[in-house]
Each structure stands twice: as C-alpha cells, then as structure tokens.
Amino acid sequence: MANMVLFGVLWIVISLLGEWGVTAWINSAPNGTGPYFGSFSNLGIIGAGAFDFLLWVAVPIFVFVVLMLVFAMIRFRVKKGETPDEAKNQSRVNKTFIGIWVVASILVNILIWLHPNASGLEQVFAAQKVTAKQHPLIVDVTARQWEWIFSYPQYGISQAVNSQGDDVLYLPVNRPVKFVLQSFDPFHTYDYQVDVIHSFWIPGFGVKQDVVPGETRTLVLTPTQITSTEKNPMVRVQCAEDCGPGHPYMEANVHVVSASAFAQWAKAQAAGGS
C-alpha cells in the first residue's frame, strides 16, 4: 500500500508539472500558433485546439508509463546478495492492475474518438457550408506541373501574379473563401484533363486537399489573421503530393490582407497591374 501511495503522489505531482509546461509552451508560441503550426484560419484553429487537447491528455499517460518503469526498477530491484526468489513484495501478475489498465485504455480511446475527433470533424463539416449571405470569395485554383494558378472570377482576374510575374494568392481576412480545385494544364488544351495528382496545402492554415485530374473539389475556409509568406513561411501554398521533378518548387506566396487592401489589389489585377 505504501508503494501505491508513493507512486500515486509522484504521478500526480509530475503530471501537474508536465501540464503546466505544456500550457506554458502553448501560450508562449509566437503569433498564436501554438505547437501546432497552422492556426491562421478557422480550420487551423480547430486543428490547433485538437492538437492541444491531445497534448494535455497524453501528459499523464506518458508520465504514468515512464514513471512505472523507473519506479519499478528502483523500488523493486533485487539487492546485492539477494536472489529473485527471496525478494519481498514482488509479483509477476496483478490481475487488478491489468483490469484497471485495460478499462482505462478503452475509456481514453472513447474520449479521444468523441473529442477531438468526432467533435472536430463536426466543426470542419459545418465550416464547409458557406451561404451566399456570407459573400464568400471564389478562388479557382488550377494545379499543373509545376505551378499554382489562381483566378478570381468575381473580380475578372484570370491569373493573379505579382510584379515579378509569379503566381500569388491574395485573400481578405475574416471573409470565407471557397477554393475550387482542379488539376490540368490550361496552356495545352489538347490534353485538357491530363495532369497528375497534386495536393493543395497551406501549412499555416492547417489544411490540405488533394487535387485530382478529372475532378473538381472545393475547400472552404476563413483566414483569421493578417499575415503573409514573408512574415511566416508556413503561410504559403505548397504541393504536398509528389508530382514529378519540379514538386519541391511547386509553391506560391500567400498574402492575407484587410478588406480594403484586397479591394485595391483586385482592382489593380483586373486592370492588368500587379
């Protein structure tokens, strides 16, 4: 009994210290990203919340397993001059412990399945149901080897580029964005639907979606912070599906700006400027 009490006290104390350290780590991260690097969108915030919750749950479990190993090695070691058969207070099997461990493991798995898995998916699915009253920005995204092309049909922009002629993605903050994703080469109409699978990934937004030839897929999210690739390299469009020798360079800069700044940029793009 004394060993159980001592172990329980150590487990609680070390777990509390671990939870304090994890919480401090989450709160001290720059730009509100936390240890999960993607929380610049509503979907990223959902993912970050799930990641943080799993960290908090994992701490006492990790402490329990490691402490049990260390505690058993120290407290129940065979002393010098003592044979294993002479060692006191040792048992090879503890059915009560095994039963508690199995039940606790099942309960933890059920908890994680309910939250954050099921609850998080519910939020993600709800975020995809954007309405016309929310005035979503439509961005047509074309993936080709090895380039991202961004079009804004609501603003008459067929291909958004910067002053160097590179493809660029501009988004207004706090406005829902509906990405319409396709994979084909618009510059070679004789093979209109012939390309390969790409993956539309913005790490800082905490989201990724495969782009498959012959399919049109959609992704809805809302940027929540003004930022850019220059400020945070995680806020970029990157292909996350190996699509050939140019795959590592298939990326594009992202700028999340205010509504007024976006309107000015869209006007300049529509007029043929950058």
* Structural domain boundaries in the chain: 2-77+96-127, 133-270
In angstroms, rounded to a whole number, what is the distance separating the alpha carbons of residues 37 and 232? 10
CB 235 within 8 A of CB 274: no
- Tell me the two tokens of residue 174: 């706090």
Judged by DSSP in three states, 257 sits in: strand
Q: Which one is the CATH code of 133-270: 2.60.40.420, 1.10.1740.10, 3.20.20.210, 2.40.110.10?
A: 2.60.40.420
- Region 6-22: what's the mean pLDDT? 93
How large a percentage of the chain has pLDDT more than 70? 91
- State pLDDT tens for residues 100-141: 889 999 999 999 999 998 998 899 999 999 888 889 999 999
What would the two tokens of residue 261 be?
A: 């700044």
CA distance readout (Å), 247 to 182, 189, 200, 219, 234 = 17, 22, 12, 22, 17
Minimal CA–CA distance to 150: which of 245, 57, 23, 266?
A: 266
89 DSSP assignment: S
The overall longest dimension of the chain from CA atoms, in Å, is: 90
Rounded mean pLDDT, 13-37: 81
pLDDT in tens, 182-219: 998 888 766 656 678 999 999 999 889 999 998 999 99
For the segment 147-151, the average pLDDT, to the nearest whole number, is: 96
Return the pLDDT at 72: 86
Is residue 90's pLDDT more than 80? Answer: no
